[in-house]
Copies of this chain bind each other. A is one copy, B any other.
């Protein structure tokens, strides 16, 4: 396997872990968005959106994941890749900018386009895997939970 294929395979592996988190959230009645934080090929944090479950205004998947990864130094974050099933909103993008996480891999940005320009202007690499599974999870959820979804993205 060449290097490019190897990287692609890794991205799909970790995105699948983020999808598992999204499904966990769905089973709890929550918004199906999941995230994992990877450092040196190891998952060091995982999380999912907990607006519904914890009545939280800040626990988006990426925030929950960063919180669960614990307090890290700049040196740690520099070695990290954040995986999220959905394009990150301004808050979550801001967290990535704050901690200078160099790469974010997203499942899709058809359901919602987050602060991708802001990430790029801060030299953070964004890779979109354009996953049908991620899109379907959100499409089916939003159909039945429009109000909760709009609240989550400040609409």
- Tally of this chain's copies: 2
User: Once bound together, how far apart are the Cα atoms of A122 and B154, in whole Å?
Assistant: 14
User: Once bound together, how far apart are the Cα atoms of A2 and B154, in whole Å?
Assistant: 35
User: Once bound together, how far apart are the Cα atoms of A51 and B97, in whole Å?
Assistant: 18
Of A19-27, A64-72, A102-110, A131-139, which stretch is located at the interface? A64-72
Q: Mark A66-110, 1 if CB is under 8 A from B, else 0.
A: 110111111001000000000001111111011110000000000
* A144 on interface, CB distance cutoff 8 Å: no
A92 to B, closest residue via Cβ: B94
User: Could you tell me if A99 and B69 are in contact, using CB atoms closer than 8 angstroms?
Assistant: no
User: Could you tell me if B77 and A56 are in contact, using CB atoms closer than 8 angstroms?
Assistant: no
* A43 on interface, CB distance cutoff 8 Å: no
User: Could you tell me if B74 and A154 are in contact, using CB atoms closer than 8 angstroms?
Assistant: yes
A123 to chain B, nearest CB (A): 13
Residues on the B chain within 8 Å of A89, using CB? 94, 98
User: Could you tell me if A115 and B91 are in contact, using CB atoms closer than 8 angstroms?
Assistant: no
A101 to B, closest residue via Cβ: B154
A100 to B, closest residue via Cβ: B154
Can you give 18 A-B contacts (C-beta < 8 A)? A56-B67, A56-B71, A57-B72, A57-B99, A71-B151, A74-B150, A74-B154, A89-B94, A90-B95, A90-B98, A90-B122, A91-B91, A91-B95, A92-B94, A98-B153, A98-B154, A99-B154, A100-B154
